[in-house]
């Protein structure tokens, strides 16, 4: 199984974005650079997944994700947004918590397990995440909540 440590490698607190497109571009570029992945491949993979349907899961949370050819580990980025953004959520609520999850195309089962774990843990810690006012506070809010799947 590919590495599945779900503690986000990047934390962004109150990220100043104003649209779904801007969120995806910003987060994909950051996680690609952090994981030494091709920025275009990451963005295209995430956008292809979004075309299948919104990755918003309700309660102001979105979980954009994709599998990436050549990735050797699960890469994650957690962001809270300065202003909630429409994300075509099933409950109609705008999104203010976004966690991007990239997995290896060689570990589909591990990727799906990671998504399930992240979804449950984000819902459980959403109130703490929303009150964080810095990356350090965001780290404290997720420490102990987002652990290996």
On whether residue 148 sits in a domain, the answer given is no
Q: Which pLDDT score is estimated for 144?
A: 56
pLDDT at 6: 64
Of residues 15, 34, 65, 139, which has the active-site annotation?
Answer: 65
Number of domains in the chain: 1
Number of Cβ within 10 Å of residue 21's Cβ equals: 12
pLDDT digit string (tens) for the chain, length 149 residues: 223 456 788 999 999 999 999 999 999 999 999 988 999 999 999 999 999 999 999 999 999 999 998 888 888 899 999 999 999 999 999 999 999 999 888 887 778 888 888 888 889 889 999 999 999 999 888 875 654 33
Within a domain: residue 82? Answer: yes
Q: Enumerate residues 6+ apart whose C-beta is below 8 A from 122.
A: 57, 61, 63, 97, 99, 129, 146
Q: Residue 111 has which token pair?
A: 């990727």
Rounded Cα gap, residues 10 and 14, in angstroms? 13
Structural domain includes residue 136: yes
- 65 catalytic, yes or no? yes
Look up the domain containing 55 and give its range. Answer: 10-141
Whether 129 maps to a domain, the answer reads yes
Note whether 46 and 65 are within 8 A (CB). yes
Q: Determine, yes or no, domain membership for 100.
A: yes
What CATH number does the domain containing 104 carry? 3.40.930.10
pTM of the model: 0.90
Residue 146 near residue 121 (C-beta atoms within 8 A): yes
In a domain, 5, yes or no: no
């Amino acid at each position: 199984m590919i590495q599945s440590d779900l503690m986000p490698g990047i934390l962004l607190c109150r990220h100043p974005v104003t649209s779904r497109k801007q969120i995806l571009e910003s987060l994909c570029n950051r996680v690609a650079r952090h994981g030494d992945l091709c920025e275009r491949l990451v963005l295209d993979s995430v956008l292809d997944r979004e075309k299948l349907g919104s990755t918003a899961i309700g309660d102001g949370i979105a979980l954009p994700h994709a599998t990436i050819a050549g990735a050797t580990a699960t890469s994650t980025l957690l962001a809270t947004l300065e202003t909630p953004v429409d994300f075509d959520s099933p409950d109609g609520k705008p999104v203010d918590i976004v966690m991007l999850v990239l997995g290896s195309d060689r570990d589909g089962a591990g990727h799906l397990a990671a998504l399930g774990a992240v979804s449950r843990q984000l819902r459980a810690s959403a109130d703490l995440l929303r009150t964080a006012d810095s990356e350090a506070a965001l780290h404290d809010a997720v420490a102990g909540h987002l652990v290996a799947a």
